[in-house]
């Protein structure tokens, strides 16, 4: 008789892993979806310091300018002649977003002006320059 009761006791003491697996899969999907919305320009820059810096909530387009005036968008180096087309493509994907320029503190101001002009030609008027808080 003891042998018949033993499998029933094991079934009662078994742990159901289904809810735990559901939670793990939901967390995995959450991290995959949120990670795809984080965009980086592709290079690290030394941003200039500012005392009146404000945070920008809806930055959809990030443009980085390196210290030797290279333009980077979505981890790709962009030819200045194709800058307007790249901004236009990204603006079409998210027309309510803004453009943030992450310019190195050694980048020329003329190159920053070119990026702003290209954004204005596309119709993107919400343009900001990223700085370090002082």
pLDDT band at residue 74 under the 50/70/90 scheme? confident
Average pLDDT over residues 9-34: 82
Average pLDDT over residues 39-53: 71
pLDDT band at residue 36 under the 50/70/90 scheme? low
% of the chain beyond a pLDDT of 70: 80
- Per-residue pLDDT tens digits for 81-122: 999 999 999 888 888 878 888 888 888 989 999 999 999 999
**3-state secondary structure string, the chain?**
CHHHHHHHHHHHHCCCCHHHHHHHHHHHHHHHHHHHCCCCCCCCCCCCEECCCCCCCCEEEEEEECCCCCEEECCEEECHHHHHHHHHHHHHHCCCCEEEEEECCCCCHHHHHHHHHHHHHHCCCCEEECCEEC
- Per-residue pLDDT tens digits for 56-68: 676 778 888 988 8
């Amino acid at each position: 008789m003891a042998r018949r009761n033993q499998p029933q006791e094991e079934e009662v003491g078994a742990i159901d892993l289904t809810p735990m697996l559901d939670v793990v899969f939901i967390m995995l999907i959450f991290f995959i979806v949120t990670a795809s919305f984080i965009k980086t320009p592709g290079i690290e820059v030394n941003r200039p310091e500012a005392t009146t810096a404000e945070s920008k909530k809806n930055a959809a387009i990030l443009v980085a300018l390196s210290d030797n005036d290279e333009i980077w968008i979505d981890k790709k180096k962009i030819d200045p002649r194709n800058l307007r087309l790249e901004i236009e493509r990204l603006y079409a994907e998210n027309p309510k977003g803004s453009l943030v320029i992450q310019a190195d503190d050694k980048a020329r101001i003329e190159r920053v002006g070119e990026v702003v002009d290209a954004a204005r030609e596309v119709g993107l008027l919400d343009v900001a320059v990223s700085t370090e808080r002082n």
